[in-house]
Amino acid sequence: MTSAAAVRDYVETHIDEVLADLDRLVRLETPSSRRDLLEAALPQIEAYAVERLGEPVARARHDGGERGDVLDLTWAGSPGVAGTVLSLCHYDTVWPEGTLATWPLTRDGDVLTGPGVLDMKAGIVQTVWMLRALRELGASHPAVRLMLTGDEEIGSAVSRPHIEAAAAGCLVTLISEPSAGGAVKVQRKGTVFADVTVTGLESHAGLDPYAGASAVHEIAKLIPKIVALADRSKGTTVNVGTVEGGSGRNVIAGQARCAVDVRVQDPDEAERVASALEALQVEDERCSLEMYVDHNRPPMNPTPRTEEIVALAHRVGEDLGFPIETQAVGGASDGNFIAALGLPVIDGLGGIGAGPHARHEHITVSGLPRQTALMAGIVELLAAE
């Protein structure tokens, strides 16, 4: 077998090409809300992958409607090696068009900063170089299926069925979302979102204060009840992220809204909180309440097969000379959908860095060979199985 250390050395030798590839992808501005930019970028990302890996043996592109399309590419495995590994990456980012004008990809020593470099264009480049390295070094590997989605940052409504269908037929799904210090993510919280709208009755706050029914006052009464649904002992958190309402200081507010973010590790908690939210009522009968609850993502909890593949990752770490740590985080990813189906998924295999969705978003250059080798090592051990 080819050692993961050999893959790391191979990528280090080609690091200038790897960084040039990353620059190429970061230069493609791909905000989730801009269908036109996503549609323009996806053929260029595909062309890049084909230049590095050759034509895939299977290709499908699924229409994303108002969102980014899903591109599904598969390259053959080594002769005699069965099965397929799915590498799941999203090419959309949170950064609006024009961000590159003031914040291009910039290197300062080991730090590489730029919009989307960590979340998660480094992951796309890592996948391409993982397969390229395995081939160049003559290592046995299963087929590699690269799925590129364009709506992960806004909920994956379009891509979810394609993700679930692809994962069901694969040995494992590897997700190269950002890694905190090199740890792999085996647990993520599920998310429930709620939009709360109260409609009241407007009147003049001075001339006719009792004729109105304040939507702002009613939503202020609801918020403590919403926040009280959190349960720290079970890892359930509740955050009211935005509150808005009213039209003026001297107007009894006719409408008020708040946006609620719920994170759960236990699937039963999602049902408990959602039911409690839907049961809320306003106190003033002249007001009305509209509650929209979205079960956005189920929790990601490790399956027995996931734990077996984590054990493979530990073996790869031994070859690379460092321990592979596992991590549970509050943020969700597309891995949540896969784990909820009882399928194996390893997340957090992407760039090592910090600041996703923030102006200090960055990766370490030294982390690219390491993370690519970790992915390659897992894939090669699956071939050996």
Residues 59 and 23 in one domain: yes
Q: Which pairs count as long-range contacts for 352-360, CB under 8 Å and 24+ apart, including other chains?
A: 352/178, 352/179, 352/180, 352/181, 352/182, 353/111, 353/117, 353/118, 353/122, 353/178, 353/179, 354/118, 354/180, 355/118, 356/118, 356/119, 356/178, 357/94, 357/119, 359/103, 360/113
Residues 273 and 183 in one domain: no
Measured between alpha carbons, how far is 1 from 138 in angstroms, rounded to an integer?
A: 9
Residues 375 and 305 in one domain: yes
pLDDT, position 181: 87
The first and second tokens of residue 266, run together, are 């236990």
- Residue in 294, 279, 275, 284 with CA at minimum distance from that of residue 216: 284
Residues 178 and 210 in one domain: no
Its domain, for residue 184, covers: 4-188+300-384
Which of 238, 265, 297 terminates a domain? The answer is 297
Residues 154 and 255 in one domain: no
Measured between alpha carbons, how far is 301 from 341 in angstroms, rounded to an integer?
A: 10
| pTM (2 d.p.) | 0.92
Which of 297, 316, 339 terminates a domain? The answer is 297
Q: Do the bridges between strand 106-108 and strand 172-175 make them parallel or antiparallel, or are there none, so unpaired?
A: unpaired
Active-site residue 108, yes or no? no
Residues 279 and 336 in one domain: no
Contact 97, 115 (CB under 8 A): no
Q: Which of 21, 69, 92, 319 is catalytic?
A: 92
The CATH number of residue 288's host domain is 3.30.70.360
The dihedrals phi and psi of 36, each to the nearest 5 degrees, come to: -65, -40
Number of domains in the chain: 2
Measured between alpha carbons, how far is 343 from 302 in angstroms, rounded to an integer?
A: 9
Give, for all 385 residues of the chain, the pLDDT tens digit. 678 999 999 999 999 999 999 999 999 999 999 999 999 999 999 999 999 999 999 999 999 999 999 999 999 999 999 999 999 999 999 999 999 999 999 999 999 999 999 999 999 999 999 999 999 999 999 999 999 999 999 999 999 999 999 999 999 999 999 998 899 999 999 999 999 999 999 999 999 999 999 999 999 999 999 999 999 999 999 999 999 999 999 999 999 999 999 999 999 999 999 999 999 999 999 999 999 999 999 999 999 999 999 999 999 999 999 999 999 999 999 999 999 999 999 999 999 999 999 999 999 999 999 999 999 999 999 999 8
Cα 267 versus chain centre, distance? 19
The CATH number of residue 171's host domain is 3.40.630.10
pLDDT, position 3: 86
Residues 43 and 130 in one domain: yes
Residues 117 and 174 in one domain: yes
Residues 211 and 163 in one domain: no
Residues 161 and 290 in one domain: no
Residues 171 and 245 in one domain: no
- Determine whether 233 is exposed, middle or buried from the number of CB atoms within 10 Å of its CB (0-12, 13-18, 19+): exposed
Residues 181 and 194 in one domain: no
Which of 297, 324, 354 terminates a domain? The answer is 297
The strand order across the sheet containing 353-354 reads 106-108, 111-113, 362-364, 353-354
Active-site residue 152, yes or no? yes
Q: Which of 151, 152, 177, 347 is catalytic?
A: 152
